[in-house]
Amino acid sequence: MTDGLKRRDFLKVVGATGAGAGVWGCSTENVERLLPYVVPPEDITPGVATWYTTVCGECEAGCGMWVRTREGRVVKVEGNPEHPVSRGSLCSRGHSSLQALYNPDRFTGPMLRQGGELQPISWEDAEQMVADRLGSAGEYYLFGGIAGPSLAALMSTFAGATGGQVVRYHPLAEAPLREASRIVFGRDVVPWYDLEEARVLVSFGADFLESWLSPVRDGRGFARMSGVDDAGSKGHFTFVGSRLSLTGQNADEWLPIQPGSEALVALAMANVVADGGASAGPYRNIVAAYTPENVASATGVEADSIRELAERFAEGPSLALGPGIGGLHRGATAANVAVAILNAVAGNVGRTLHYDSPQLDAPSEGFAPMERAIEAMRGGQVGAVLVHASNPVYALPASSGFREAFASVPFKVSFASAMDETAAEADLILPDRHFLESWGDASSRPGQWTVRQPAMRPVPHFDSKQTGDVLLSVATRMGQDLGSETFFDHLRGRWADLATSAGVADADAFWHESLRTGVVQVGTTPSGASETLRQPDRGLVFDPPAFDGPGDLHLMVYPSARYGDGALNANRPWLQELPDPVSKITWHSWVEMHPNRAEALGLRNGDVVELSTEHGSVEVPVWTYPGIREDVIAVPMGGGHTSAGRFADGNGVNALDLLPSEAESLSGGLVQFVTKVVVTPTGRRRHLASIAGSDVQSNRPITPAVALAGLGAEAAGAEDEDHGPLKELQGVGGFVPVETGGRPEDFPLEGARHGEYGDEEEPRWAMTIDLDKCTGCSACVTACQAENNVPWVGEGQVTMGRDMMWIRLERYYEAVDASHAGPLDVRFLPMICQHCGNAPCEPVCPVFATYHTPDGINTQIYNRCVGTRYCANNCPYKVRVFNWYTFTDEEPVREGLGHIPEPLNWQLNPDVTVRENGVMEKCSFCIHRIRARQDRAAVEGSTIADGEIIPACQQSCPAEAIVFGNIRDSGSRVAQSSRHERAYRVLDELVNTQPAVTYLKKVTFHEVDSGEH
């Protein structure tokens, strides 16, 4: 600084003003009360987390969860490592379920609509009203969603006893997949996929990493398949589809096929695999007819490409998945049949996918039953409707007429816990509990059961009741005895039966063990037997189906990687502000368009266009994307809410408005890739709320890759300076201690000098991230946000570049070409604070708010930070984020800014400081977890083993890409992996930052520029 004013003097003045303000602020408002328990709960120690097992209720995959509670409130959810589906991981949606639990827009209690307004009503009156109205309704419907087997069984019993019909509708339902399984193998199921066992994977547009069936299970399986192993072997993944989803971006090769031609590619592959069809049994003639040459023009893929793919597929073990959203057209069942045949002829059935031990609970009822229900409601035959865990007004195309038909029903009951578009039309609201407050169960595979237990008492702001209990009470009032007094009794009864079937004598012990571990396996594992191909009993047409409408632009409305269909989970700021893994756009909707097409239409990023079909129109900004065919445009689901709550309403468009409501003729599934679209520029523009910097690396070695063939070329001893072991920490930051009485003035500036670090007894924390495994799914981003009280800032701030995520998932295009089949190369890189040993941020901080701890963490001391932002300016990785406002108050500082209204603030992690405006922050390596483990070690006298400290990102990563530990311990996993030949440190050779984060290069099948300079 200057001679006139020394840093310490400056601080003293600032400190003195702070003290004055402190005395001034001394008033009754500052008196804090300590409220003890009257009787202490057995399982709560103040300051110590208590964990419960349960099962996620966000989608049908049924991931086992561990729920972290502090002083009786849930603060974080994580995957249950012992659960075979989640295996310790969780997706962003799972993490964000906390924001549904504490959703400030939940109903405060049961409500009755009177004179157009919702008025509170007592549970007794409400239940009596339901009983009376159902009793006189004649025909009634119960629309259901995700329920779990015990609640689903209760619903069926209830409906059966009271004269109702249960319809479970889900826009992403796999009805065609199920029908195809029935046609080909005689099994009416959704098979269980085992990606881990495959070496060659082909996805026909199935987005298994984001929205298809079981993304966490498949994320792990995929990473284990495709990540290069120690022997230098790596599974190969080909994506066949018109648009690259996140899943597609992870492929090694892309076949950008003509819309609707999945079946042809699959059959042509089967033709090659089955040697002209000879081994295709009853499908011999069909397979023989579709040679690669015959389908080349209809699919847009050269015969040689198909042949090459099929030959690789035949080598196996292989697995074909899908079709996904691109296959939900008028030939959806036939396309699924073609893929099933391909799997059968390649010998995959019983090896990489299982029909005898299928996936249960998968959404597989089609649109057809709902179509009949709409017809009945419209006809006035329906006296009442109950809606549970679904939002059909939003999730059905407007053209279905559901809204109008529903409105005509005289008595409509919603079990929604928070307002949604369907509840907005309902007469009576009976708010259900969140799954973290509920009893229940899930079974994602035969014999594999997971119990759901409440992890906390119901959030006291909301007077809620489990729907199972409501149904039992209503049944009793209607004079029906369903066999249980409460839903808990019903559940225990079913689990007692389960114990009996498992041959366990002590049902109570079985139950308690289930609660403890969170999962039980009853009965056998899959046999591994193959299935017999059956003669098809339906007429199958494999040729590409017709698309409605004029022009040549096919409209794909796809499930969002963040929300899925978004019907019930959009009112969550974490999901709204999570950058879409593909587009990196937050908050609003967009339409994906190939750059050539955009240029032809004279459009740029951010130009608002009107999309119109004969069913409706929406206005949405353009985002140009090379990963989509020129004749396809795509819009994600999940936007355009009108009654879903303060964080969701008004963001984006509901693209389902553009679709017809039509059931596929064979399966009854809703067809979604079926119409063409007209694009009309509006002349208006808008900022895309995107966090993307550049899509290309501009020759900087940010995410270099290495070709598989080139692996092993560098001998282990050939480490050069930049890629070798980390240097010892540089002599920056820190003080040498001086003898002192402890008063601030006893730390004279003259006596201090920069000291050396590098105490060998201290650990040095470091991380490696394997980019060959990272799928870009962004689960880590939300996990980090939940763990570290990272605020959301709002769309306006994001457009100004003020997003505050501690992890930025960078995405770079290397080889993306939608014009023909060929190698695909998209690189992902989770960018976090690199915890540099020679950190550029440290010397520029005037107040030593950022410096190096002796254990190697580049730390940020919030109470020292005065917000100069010099550190962020000097960070070559742009990982430091600044609190431009206080985003953690209950009220927003300004309209549209981030804030945490009660009771959303119940989620805040008490172990991490909540930051205010004017403070810089960034990844801390989850230092509170390190300190907590060190505290425990000091108390117990134990040592900390490698792998015991796991940051939130690593904990959540389905791909197992992240390893954290002490790099000074040469035997630790992180030390070993940082010595890997693929190891590199981002920009280190340019700026000599000596990062503690080491990345392992992605491995490609094609030749690449290794990024060496």
Q: In a 10 Å sphere around its CB, with 0-12 CB exposed, 13-18 middle and 19+ buried, how is residue 718 labelled? A: exposed
| C-beta of residue 193 within 8 angstroms of C-beta of residue 352 | yes
Based on the shown chain and the rule CB under 8 A, indicate whether residue 527 belongs to the binding site for other proteins.
no
Based on the shown chain and the rule CB under 8 A, indicate whether residue 862 belongs to the binding site for other proteins.
yes
Sign, Cα dihedral of 770, 773, 777, 783: negative
Q: Cβ closer to other proteins: 34 or 715?
A: 34
With tokens 């009596």, the residue in question is: 128
Based on the shown chain and the rule CB under 8 A, indicate whether residue 749 belongs to the binding site for other proteins.
no
Collect all residues with Cβ–Cβ distance below 8 Å to 223 and sequence separation of at least 6: 773, 774, 775, 958, 959, 960, 961
Q: How long a stretch of residues is the chain?
A: 1013
Q: Which one, of 632, 667, 997, 647, lies nearest residue 832 by Cα?
A: 997
Q: Cβ closer to other proteins: 69 or 1004?
A: 69
- Min dist CB 736 to other proteins, Å, is 10
- Stretch binding other proteins (CB under 8 A), from 31-39, 200-208, 387-395, 498-506: 31-39
- Min dist CB 997 to other proteins, Å, is 18
- Min dist CB 939 to other proteins, Å, is 4
Q: Cβ closer to other proteins: 44 or 608?
A: 44
Q: Cβ closer to other proteins: 307 or 928?
A: 928
Based on the shown chain and the rule CB under 8 A, indicate whether residue 716 belongs to the binding site for other proteins.
no
- Min dist CB 783 to other proteins, Å, is 18
Based on the shown chain and the rule CB under 8 A, indicate whether residue 45 belongs to the binding site for other proteins.
yes
DSSP 373-406: HHHHHHTT-EEEEEE-S--HHHHS-GGG-HHHHH
Q: In a 10 Å sphere around its CB, with 0-12 CB exposed, 13-18 middle and 19+ buried, how is residue 942 labelled? A: exposed
Based on the shown chain and the rule CB under 8 A, indicate whether residue 27 belongs to the binding site for other proteins.
yes
Collect all residues with Cβ–Cβ distance below 8 Å to 661 and sequence separation of at least 6: 367, 371, 396, 397, 399, 400, 401, 670
Q: Cβ closer to other proteins: 535 or 943?
A: 943
Q: Which one, of 260, 396, 241, 245, lies nearest residue 332 by Cα?
A: 260
Structure tokens that stand for 774 in this block: 């990272």
Task: Describe the crossing of helices 262-273 and 332-345 by its angle, rounded to 10 degrees.
Answer: 20
Based on the shown chain and the rule CB under 8 A, indicate whether residue 741 belongs to the binding site for other proteins.
yes
Measured CA to CA, the distance from residue 236 to residue 1003 in angstroms comes to 11
- Min dist CB 33 to other proteins, Å, is 5
- Min dist CB 955 to other proteins, Å, is 18
Based on the shown chain and the rule CB under 8 A, indicate whether residue 506 belongs to the binding site for other proteins.
no
Q: Cβ closer to other proteins: 17 or 501?
A: 17
Distance of CA 10 to the CA centre of its chain: 47
- State residue 502 phi and psi, 5-degree precision: -85, 0
Sign, Cα dihedral of 722, 945, 926, 77: positive
- Min dist CB 121 to other proteins, Å, is 29
- Min dist CB 9 to other proteins, Å, is 8
Based on the shown chain and the rule CB under 8 A, indicate whether residue 505 belongs to the binding site for other proteins.
no
Contact with other proteins (CB under 8 A): which of 8, 40, 352, 984?
A: 40
- Stretch binding other proteins (CB under 8 A), from 81-89, 763-771, 850-858, 969-977: 850-858
- Min dist CB 744 to other proteins, Å, is 5
SS3 for 89-115, per residue? CCCHHHHHHHHHHCCCCECCCCEEEEC
Measured CA to CA, the distance from residue 490 to residue 28 in angstroms comes to 51
- Min dist CB 559 to other proteins, Å, is 38
Edge to edge, what strands does the sheet with 983-984 contain? Answer: 962-966, 765-770, 997-1000, 983-984
Based on the shown chain and the rule CB under 8 A, indicate whether residue 952 belongs to the binding site for other proteins.
no
Collect all residues with Cβ–Cβ distance below 8 Å to 179 and sequence separation of at least 6: 188, 333, 336, 666, 667, 668, 669
- Min dist CB 66 to other proteins, Å, is 20
Residue 743 burial (CB count, 10 A): 7
Q: Which one, of 153, 151, 148, lies nearest residue 54 by Cα?
A: 148
Contact with other proteins (CB under 8 A): which of 17, 114, 408, 970?
A: 17
Tell me the three state secondary structure of residue 941.
Answer: coil
Q: Cβ closer to other proteins: 71 or 969?
A: 71
- Min dist CB 45 to other proteins, Å, is 5
Q: Cβ closer to other proteins: 535 or 863?
A: 863
Q: Which one, of 499, 519, 515, lies nearest residue 507 by Cα?
A: 499
Q: Cβ closer to other proteins: 488 or 862?
A: 862
Contact with other proteins (CB under 8 A): which of 851, 877, 885, 964?
A: 851
Contact with other proteins (CB under 8 A): which of 348, 703, 853, 955?
A: 853
Based on the shown chain and the rule CB under 8 A, indicate whether residue 5 belongs to the binding site for other proteins.
yes
DSSP state of 119: E
Q: Cβ closer to other proteins: 727 or 931?
A: 931
State which of positions 59-78 bind other proteins (CB under 8 A): none
- Min dist CB 92 to other proteins, Å, is 25
Based on the shown chain and the rule CB under 8 A, indicate whether residue 717 belongs to the binding site for other proteins.
no
- Min dist CB 574 to other proteins, Å, is 22
Based on the shown chain and the rule CB under 8 A, indicate whether residue 857 belongs to the binding site for other proteins.
yes
Residue 980 burial (CB count, 10 A): 16
Q: Cβ closer to other proteins: 613 or 859?
A: 859
Measured CA to CA, the distance from residue 243 to residue 167 in angstroms comes to 32
- Min dist CB 253 to other proteins, Å, is 45
Instruction: Give the total of residues touching other proteins (CB under 8 A).
Output: 60
Q: Which one, of 82, 248, 102, 66, lies nearest residue 632 by Cα?
A: 248
Q: Cβ closer to other proteins: 19 or 505?
A: 19
Based on the shown chain and the rule CB under 8 A, indicate whether residue 861 belongs to the binding site for other proteins.
yes
Based on the shown chain and the rule CB under 8 A, indicate whether residue 288 belongs to the binding site for other proteins.
no
State which of positions 547-576 bind other proteins (CB under 8 A): none
Structure tokens that stand for 704 in this block: 């270099």
Measured CA to CA, the distance from residue 582 to residue 627 in angstroms comes to 10
State which of positions 887-946 bind other proteins (CB under 8 A): 911-914, 924, 927-928, 931, 935, 938-939
Based on the shown chain and the rule CB under 8 A, indicate whether residue 815 belongs to the binding site for other proteins.
no
Q: Cβ closer to other proteins: 319 or 919?
A: 919
Based on the shown chain and the rule CB under 8 A, indicate whether residue 47 belongs to the binding site for other proteins.
yes
Based on the shown chain and the rule CB under 8 A, indicate whether residue 460 belongs to the binding site for other proteins.
no
Gyration radius of the chain's alpha carbons: 29
| C-beta of residue 246 within 8 angstroms of C-beta of residue 581 | yes
Tell me the three state secondary structure of residue 634.
Answer: strand
- Min dist CB 909 to other proteins, Å, is 12
Based on the shown chain and the rule CB under 8 A, indicate whether residue 252 belongs to the binding site for other proteins.
no
Q: Cβ closer to other proteins: 743 or 753?
A: 743
Contact with other proteins (CB under 8 A): which of 20, 232, 748, 801?
A: 20
Q: Cβ closer to other proteins: 1 or 718?
A: 1
Based on the shown chain and the rule CB under 8 A, indicate whether residue 28 belongs to the binding site for other proteins.
yes
Q: Cβ closer to other proteins: 272 or 857?
A: 857
Residue 223 burial (CB count, 10 A): 25
Chain residues that interact with other proteins, rule: CB under 8 A: 1-2, 4-5, 10, 13-14, 16-17, 20-21, 23-24, 26-28, 30-40, 45-48, 735, 737, 740-744, 746, 846, 851, 853-854, 857, 859, 861-864, 911-914, 924, 927-928, 931, 935, 938-939
